[in-house]
Structure 1
Amino acid sequence: MVAALKEALLGDSRLKVVVADVQGLIDAEVADKKGASGLAVKGGYAAVKKVGPSIVPDAIEGLLPGFVGKLEPYWDDFRSTGGSSFAEYLTARGDEVADALLGVTDERIEGTSKTAVKKVYSSMRSSAKKNVVEALPRLGALVEQHASA
């Protein structure tokens, strides 16, 4: 049986595992980046992690409810249409899904008092959509794995 997305990803018994899996997804996406833009992403990610060792998992945990809220309509549509995988479903709607997810981070970054994080985010925001679109296959697989567990 497939659980409701909020329950599957945000439930007390699942949250720590989901946060760890999302951090693994981010680490893998960053590691896969190539070229000059890849160096910028890797440098920015390393800089954010230097601000504090818990900043990435804390950020994931703080942003996850917003991301799940944005993904839920896509998940519900995917389940009702019976596609082959959620990864393929998200990838087919890449620009739209990326814009929805980035809306969550844009809103959150506006409210932070951490100037170092704001600076890094601001410098990387222009390429963020491309990076989010590239991460959708892994994200879809992660969501589907947890929602089907």
Structure 2
Amino acid sequence: MAEVLTSDAKKAQVVDDCLVLIDQEVEDKGGISGMAIKAGYAAVKSIRPGFVKQVVTDLLPEFAKALDPVYQEAKSQSRGVSDHFTSNAGRVADGLLAITDDKAKRTKSGVVKATYERLRGTAKKNVESAVPRLGKLIEKHAG
């Protein structure tokens, strides 16, 4: 799966679909925490044009590698990828957040670091809520 998502033939479309997924997830957030997420996302997007796309492009290989075991489980159990991801949402979120936690520690951007630290407390819940869309995205591209 990781090789398919990061292949020259698929990577650009996968990245574009990930950007749509992120925009949808941010848009769906409500309440006070939703306002904080929307403000943080706007701050990160304002760093420079194309910043979020570059981050997604750079993180895709690591994310795909982290998600591959869950994908392989779904395939070996003849389960739908999206359903299997959803029933393993906590595990998927932990895998992705381990990568972003590491990147946030090492970033030189004060805006990115401060925004990440401010939103990290609710990150697992927010990533878990995105897992059904993520599962569908992977199912679309990896089959």
Task: Assess same fold via TM > 0.5.
Answer: yes
How large is the Cα RMSD of the aligned pairs?
0.8
Shift, 1:12, TM fit: 1.0
Gaps of 5+ in 2: none
Pick from 70, 76, 82: which aligns with 1:80?
Answer: 76
The aligned counterpart of 2:6 is: 10
Shift, 1:7, TM fit: 2.4
The aligned counterpart of 1:21 is: 17
Pick from 130, 136, 142: which aligns with 2:125?
Answer: 130
Helix, strand or coil for the counterpart of 1:19?
Answer: helix
- Find the aligned partners of 1:54 and 1:74 in 2 and give their Cα distance: 30
Q: Deviation digits for residues 29-71 of structure 1, max 9, x if unmatched?
A: 0000011111111010001001112110000011111111110
Q: Deviation digits for residues 61-86 of structure 1, max 9, x if unmatched?
A: 11111111110001111000011x22
Runs of 4+ in structure 1 deviating by more than 4 angstroms, as ranges, are none
- Find the aligned partners of 1:6 and 1:100 in 2 and give their Cα distance: 14
AA matched with 1:6: A
Pick from 55, 78, 86: which aligns with 1:91?
Answer: 86
Helix, strand or coil for the counterpart of 1:11?
Answer: coil
- Find the aligned partners of 2:106 and 2:8 in 1 and give their Cα distance: 26
Pick from 33, 52, 59: which aligns with 2:48?
Answer: 52
Gaps of 5+ in 1: none
AA matched with 2:4: A
Shift, 1:135, TM fit: 0.1
Percent of pairs with identical residues: 42
Indicate yes or no: 2:133 matched with 1:147.
no
Helix, strand or coil for the counterpart of 2:46?
Answer: helix
Taking structure 1 as the reference length, the TM-score comes to 0.93
Indicate yes or no: 2:106 matched with 1:111.
yes
Taking structure 2 as the reference length, the TM-score comes to 0.97
> Number of paired residues?
143
AA matched with 1:144: E
